[in-house]
Amino acid sequence: MRIIAGTARGVRLGPVPNGVRPTSDRVREAVFNSLGQFFDGGEVLDLYAGTGALGIEALSRGYERAVFVEINNRAAGVVRENLVRAGFAERGEVLRGGVEGELERLVASGRKFHLIFADPPYRIPPKEIGDVVDRLAALLSPGGRAVIESRHPPVWDTDIMKGESRRYGGTFVTFLERSEEHLVKLAICPGSFDPITVGHVDVINRAAHIYDHVIVAVGKNVRKGPRLTVEERARLIGKVTGLMENVSVEIMDGLLVEFARERGATVVIKGLRAGSDFESEFQQSQLNRTLYPKFETVFIMAAAEHSFLSSSAVREIASYGGSVHGLVPDEILDIVQRLYVDGQAEKSNKG
C-alpha cells in the first residue's frame, strides 16, 4: 500500500496486520476524487483506523491534523509507524479504544472535525454502523463531511445527516454531511397575545409538531396599548404551554426580524383565520424578507371552530363581565376573567 497523492505521494505503508481489511487503493482514490483532490487545513477523524491509510492520505493532501481510533493494539502500532514513514508523526494522534467509547469522549470534549472516515469490519451489522452515523453529526464542523465504508449501505435514524451511497465492487461508500435543513427547524410564533386564546394555542401546538423548537415571541406592542403588561401576558402563555416540551416563551422588544436574526431563526409562523387576514400578513411577509432575505413566513390555517376568534373579541366580552369559557384555555380562564374585568373597571374609574 502506498500514499496516492500529496506531499507523501509514493510513500510505502507498513505491512497490514492480520484481521485488518484495508481500503483498497482503487476505492481510496475514488473516495478522494469525490471529496476533492487537495485541501487547505482542517482536522480529520479516522475511525476503525486499521493501517491509518485514509487519515494519512488526507494529511498528505493538505489536512492539518488527524485523530485515529483503533481498538487493536497491533494495528494502532502500525498507524503510528505509518505516520512516521509519511513524515506526519507530529500531526497524528492515535487513540487506542473502542469507537463508541472514544466517540463519547470526543463529543464530551467538544472536538470538531472537517472530515470523518469510518471503515468498520464487515462483520459489524448495519444497525450498529447506523448508530455510529447518528453520533457523527455532533462531531462534524459546519460544512464537514463523513465517509462510511461498509458491505451494505448503513441505515441511520437521525434526519440531521443526509447523503448518498455508491458501490465499488463489493464495497459501499456512503458520503454524508450535516443537513442544513435541520438548522432551520426553529420557528418563531409572534404576537401580542392580549390575551392568548384557544386559537393561538392550536396554532402553536401544530407548529410544535412541525418544528424542532417554537419560540412564542410576546411583543410589547405599545402602539396598540395592550390591557396587560408584556410580563403578565408572557406568564399566561407560560402556564398554557408549560407541558409542550419544545415550546418556549420570550418577550420581544423591537423588530421581529432582529429578534429572529439574533436567535438564528429563519421561519415565522402566522395563523390565518380568513382571507382578510392574508392581505395584511402578505404585506408584512414581504417587508420582513426585504429586511431579512432568509426569513420565510409559514401560514397555518385556523381550525374552523376558531375562525371567528380574536383577542379583541375576548377582551370585549371579558370587560363586560361575559363568560369567555371555551375562548381561552381552561388553565387561565379565571385569571383572564378577573384581569380583564378589573382592568376595564380601573380604566372607567380613571375616566
Of 182, 186, 245, nearest in space to 217 by CA? 186
Contacts of 241 (CB under 8 A, 6+ apart): 201, 204, 216, 247, 249
SS (H, E, C) 176-240: EEECHHHHCCEEEEEECCCCCCHHHHHHHHHHHCCCCEEEEEEECCHHHCCCCCHHHHHHHHHHH
Active-site entry in 2, 12, 74, 224: 224
Active-site entry in 80, 111, 213, 273: 273
* 209 among known catalytic residues: no
Active-site entry in 145, 200, 227, 270: 200
Q: Are 302 and 273 in contact (CB under 8 A)?
A: yes
Q: Which helix (H) or strand (E) holds 279?
A: helix 275-291
Of 303, 307, 313, 254, nearest in space to 277 by CA? 307
| 111 three-state secondary structure | coil
Beta partners for 219? 252
* 289 among known catalytic residues: no
* 220 among known catalytic residues: no
- What does the alpha-carbon distance between residue 338 and residue 45 come to, in Å, rounded to a whole number? 61
* 224 among known catalytic residues: yes
Q: Which residues are identified as catalytic? A: 200, 224, 273, 311
